[in-house]
Amino acid sequence: MFNKRIKIKEILAKNPSSDQQYTVMGWVRTFRNNQFVALNDGSTIHNLQVVLPLGSVEENILKRITTGASIKASGHLVASLGKGQSVELQADAIEILGDSDPEKYPLQPKKHSLEFLREIAHLRFRTQTFSAVFRIRHSLAFAVHQFFNEKGFVYLHTPIITSSDAEGAGEMFRVTTLPFEQIPRKEDGTIDFSEDFFGKSTNLTVSGQLEGELGATALGDIYTFGPTFRAENSNTTRHLAEFWMIEPEMAFNDIEDNMDLAEEFIHYLINYVLKNNADDLAFLDSRLQEEEKSLPADKRSEFGLLEKLQLVVNNKFERITYTEAIDILLASPAYKKKKFKFEVSWGIDLQSEHERYLVEKHFKKPVIVTGYPKDIKAFYMRQNDDGKTVAAMDILAPGIGEIVGGSQREERLDRLTKRMEEMEIPTHEMEFYLDTRRFGSVPHSGFGLGFERMVLFVTGMTNIRDVIPFARTPKNCEF
């Protein structure tokens, strides 16, 4: 059996023993003095030191132990004198599984820029930074399911191909099998979608929320966790064209319950990673400190990564209304010194610079903003009694800006249809949705957490392209 190997994460936790034989397999990080191999198999940030028996490995094998090569080594564990590790493998057999030409291997044992690594994203998993990021991404995904499962939520798989624009949340990618060379047209010249695969115009989903509501108003509590697509042409460090979103939707639940759940959820995810990815976080923490050394003092983060995460889990999020947020911005030194690029007045959609001022400069912790003007929010958000605002809530995080967007949903049929008419949303295409309000309507709410933004926050990475294996952004769809 080929896979009779022990993972490096496991072997590093074992005690030295002369009569226990182990086999490890992995990729060579470095090879020194024709004797010491630093081996990594992706199971941990740490390398295993494999010590070759001096003089007994053939010259032509030694030559093939190069950075990037894959090898198999067997031997027993001895206490290590080297620093940073308690045990090392005293090998008595070594086999090359796959060569790696050191002249051609793009990953040299030195520091590469994140930009360069993005271009070789197929190999970047082999670096310490990216292996840490993707182990943490995995842990977060696992913790998402564990959190909701513990709370009795049903994981609902909402469709990826849809025929409705859920909320006008963003530009959509069209899904079609119509031939470009000969697009069928109706008499009036418009495209005849009845000839398309689904017999109508279809898109990739921008959100699973509407279908999520259909599930929640029968199953009680549901969540979705899947890919979402937005063809928004925003080339920022926080937007992807394809990203993963977690969208819980809860019946018998109001805006306060919604905020409480979102806060508990974020705390839970961070705590899970603090507990289960301590080594990876420690590595990313020191990596960040290293990175920031080259920045001017006022550009450096106030807190280290671990310090920041501890602060977040040990403190409640600040909760303010949109109106209070505007007042804080208007009274800020930044506003008075004309530091904001975009205008500030009641009714604006908060821009990233405003969000970051609130969380990074003013409150120095995550902030939940509620009660947004109805005109900048979606039709399904519950209308407040003031006639101007809706029961929306966004969570803003330091270094990220918006990480969660949610609301209590409008459960009153008359209010909902009136709002849809005002916003020119065709109710006849949404009868299925309105049925939840016709038959046993209940107060309910939900939110969407952008998974990559959460991974950004926890890893301290600064570009969203570096926390998803293969990023899809405008003019970029490699691998």
Positions touching ligand ATP (CB under 6 A) are 169-170, 230, 232, 238-240, 243, 245, 402-405, 448, 450, 452-453
Cα 93 to Cα 25: distance, rounded to the nearest angstrom: 12
- Structure token pair of residue 57: 């490995």
Nearer to ligand ATP, 362 or 453 (CB): 453
Nearer to ligand ATP, 117 or 240 (CB): 240
175-181, long-range: CB within 8 Å, 24+ apart, which pairs? 175/202, 175/203, 175/204, 176/201, 176/202
Scan for tokens 């990080």, then name that residue.
Answer: 29
- The CB-of-170 to ligand ATP minimum distance in angstroms stands at 6
Nearer to ligand ATP, 171 or 291 (CB): 171
* Phi, psi values for residue 78, rounded to 5°: -125, 160
Scan for tokens 């800020």, then name that residue.
Answer: 332
- The CB-of-457 to ligand ATP minimum distance in angstroms stands at 10
- The CB-of-382 to ligand ATP minimum distance in angstroms stands at 16
- The CB-of-366 to ligand ATP minimum distance in angstroms stands at 12
Nearer to ligand ATP, 145 or 472 (CB): 472
SS3 state of residue 1: coil
- The CB-of-239 to ligand ATP minimum distance in angstroms stands at 4
Q: Could you please report the per-residue DSSP string of 218-270?
A: HHSEEEEEEEEE------SSS--SEEEEEEEEEES--HHHHHHHHHHHHHHHH
- The CB-of-358 to ligand ATP minimum distance in angstroms stands at 14
- The CB-of-350 to ligand ATP minimum distance in angstroms stands at 9
DSSP state for residue 411 in the 8-state scheme: -
- The CB-of-231 to ligand ATP minimum distance in angstroms stands at 9
SS3 state of residue 19: strand
Nearer to ligand ATP, 360 or 452 (CB): 452
Nearer to ligand ATP, 240 or 325 (CB): 240
Spatial strand order of the sheet with 401-409 comes to 154-155, 221-229, 242-251, 444-450, 401-409, 389-397, 367-373, 318-321
Nearer to ligand ATP, 25 or 403 (CB): 403
- Structure token pair of residue 263: 């806060």
Nearer to ligand ATP, 22 or 243 (CB): 243
Q: Could you please report the per-residue DSSP string of 26-49?
A: EEEEEEETTTEEEEE-SSSSSPEE
- The CB-of-417 to ligand ATP minimum distance in angstroms stands at 23
Nearer to ligand ATP, 44 or 253 (CB): 253
- 373-404: buried (b, 16+ CB within 10 Å) or exposed (e) per residue? bbeebbbbbbbbeeeebbbbbbbbbbbbbbbb
Q: How many residues are present in the chain?
A: 479
Cα 469 to Cα 479: distance, rounded to the nearest angstrom: 10
Nearer to ligand ATP, 34 or 235 (CB): 235
SS3 state of residue 448: strand
- The CB-of-236 to ligand ATP minimum distance in angstroms stands at 8
